[in-house]
Structure 1
């Protein structure tokens, strides 16, 4: 009972603190001092959901263990069912993982934004496949997926924040989150990868420059690369100079075609190492941080509050989640108390309850997992087809389990389907 009363008091007080702060916005979002505001100048607290798994699969969301970047997952599927059926599987995956029904669920729950993790290879060819080494080949799939998502979000007043989750070549040693192939040069080891990253952002900005329901451009998700030869993921780097320089170059390219949208930066070391940051070089900039598995205390977010104070720019919790509902409640209360918006992670996973929708796999899927984990025999092609295409059928929102308790932990007045 004490905990219940405390929760009511806590969120009641939070509601008082947020009077005059909108969670329903209109017009281009922009940075105004250390606030994010809408087209009418009203401060906006972003309450968002990250669509992990839609454009870019991460193995753990499929219950795979160990190192499983998407290109390896795809290779494993090809080995079982062939290239043609694999292509059909991925087409259906993209069609059914995120639909209008999913957006409607988020809108009814009270979310006002979606963070869209993008894989570059849905928009352009890898550098080693370009017919013209100096050129860029553009692919329609990724742009069409964004357009489709916007068509669902626009009438529901939900902002879409574009997040480059898998940059050309891969932006870090954590290969699962960026689909990096360690047999090829990374983003930081080949200037062609960096040129393609800049060109992709310019193309996106050119296409969406006048779209007010694009909330902003989250330039590179969780860089984790040491430029100074210390801790490999860059958590201890002191200058991070190549990262800031690439961000500057991307910003210049975006501003050639788009003066409307927020530029969102993430530090090194999975997004949180801002050492060496020279200060904002653009008047419409937001600094992002990510928060996982640490205490929900003032001390935990103090470095980001100090960044906001020092540089006079907004900060945004661009990714958090993967914990208990109580932790979710505490985290949201903490950051909203400091006028910080957030985007949760992720919307949908296989056999997990720490997300909005749980995907229930068909029985054959357990045989597939056992084989991939070295704990069972190779399944027949027929069994693998039933496992994979049964899974993709169950991606549909109406066939998933809706976890209202997760939604209510994030948005206490939400949770209604």
Structure 2
């Protein structure tokens, strides 16, 4: 009898009686019923690139166009080799160890479906799903690194089959092909992918939940192309309900995160809640950090007695980061900042350094002129892929300080250990809040 009890206790501890997340009224809690505020980071730019992250936005926004530009210079094989290095270096155990050490307790993984399954146009048998090991292996490794650090991994379908909106960069949407909403095969593939993921991770205590469709932005019946004025959103709710049903066939444990239209914030026409372990996700960028800007989300939480999660935010200043987190803490709202790495990044926790050679490629792509040789372009691109390694990125300690210490601590501290005599740059004088460590007239980015 004692052995049975010990074995049961061991199994429970492995699954994580104080780990597995679920919803409880307006809160996300662990197995002990303790409130868990997700303090997360989204790994934007890894499995799915947007042009602005690689400085190609002027001529190649969605990933498929970036790939075309690269293949034009170094061929299809060269492009594939670049992406192999890029994906290998982009996120490693070192990155996750670092994030956990700095205080993040969760990771949001923006997934591109084409790392897990073929596009419908390339399926050998119409209506069947070919599964690709690459995406699942990357997710397995990432989950292990998260588990090693006791932090949660939230899976986010960032690029759904066919693309989920008119903002083509977000979901790598090729407008020459039928979208997610126009094609039933794409919808079936989306549902099948989520079921496959749920089967694989149903017993993983460090999976924090499933974020079904990132930032839908589509006009079903409204005039705004990104769905901000949509009143019913019927196809969106139906698909998320169908995905949930498929997940629940194999996994009854993990939280389902749903997103509204209009980049995640339009919840008009919401049908009766279809699952007992579900939360709302909303996104917030470039606006004030006050209660009116989160009122719609707070109202959802109150009306439906369900948790809300700020699934994506960031791309701003240290002042904005600190003020936002103070606001979220006041209302017990978890969050995931965006992104992890991008080239020439001044508004995030790491910066990938550009090179003169890469800038020359950008110049050619944008303005034409003499075509760089295949050898030159290959070397320039592989050097950039190497710059994505954790050891090669610049850590933005001021951003991390603003996201954690400055939220509750108004004191200043040295930016780094300066050697005297020597130069001390004004930008490296102190870590701390505006008005204490520094003064600035242009200190926040507000345009929404």
Specify if TM > 0.5.
yes
Mapped contact 1:361–1:390 kept (Cα < 8 A): no
Residues 219-276 of structure 1 show CA distances to partners (whole Å, capped at 9, x for unaligned) of 0000000100411110000010000000010000000000010000010000000001
SS at match of 1:236: coil
From 55, 68, 82, give the equivalent of 1:63: 55
CA positional deviation for 1:413: 7.0
Residue 350 of structure 2 is matched in structure 1 by 357
Q: Which has the higher contact order (CA 8 A, sep 6+)?
A: 1
**1:267 to 2:232 alignment:** no
Distance 1:260 1:411 in 2: 31
Residue 40 of structure 1 is matched in structure 2 by 32
SS at match of 1:373: helix
From 241, 244, 251, give the equivalent of 2:244: 251
Residue 174 of structure 2 is matched in structure 1 by 181
Residue 190 of structure 1 is matched in structure 2 by 183
Distance 2:231 2:143 in 1: 39
State the aligned residue count.
Answer: 394
From 135, 142, 145, give the equivalent of 2:138: 145
Distance 1:372 1:317 in 2: 36
Distance 1:376 1:277 in 2: 52
**1:391 to 2:375 alignment:** no
Aligned CA distance change for structure 1 residues 154 and 267 (closer, same or farther; 3 Å): same
**1:161 to 2:164 alignment:** no
SS at match of 1:144: helix
Mapped contact 1:202–1:254 kept (Cα < 8 A): yes
SS at match of 2:310: strand
Structure 2: where are the runs of 5+ without partners? 1-15, 408-412, 417-448
Distance 2:179 2:152 in 1: 31
From 64, 68, 74, give the equivalent of 1:75: 68
CA positional deviation for 1:375: 5.9
**1:54 to 2:46 alignment:** yes
CA positional deviation for 1:65: 2.4
Distance 2:373 2:214 in 1: 38
**1:85 to 2:56 alignment:** no
Distance 1:311 1:377 in 2: 60
Distance 1:255 1:122 in 2: 23
Residues 105-162 of structure 1 show CA distances to partners (whole Å, capped at 9, x for unaligned) of 1011000000000000000000011111121110000000001101111011110000
**1:313 to 2:325 alignment:** no
SS at match of 2:332: coil
SS at match of 1:225: coil
SS at match of 1:84: helix
Distance 1:379 1:337 in 2: 54
SS at match of 2:342: strand
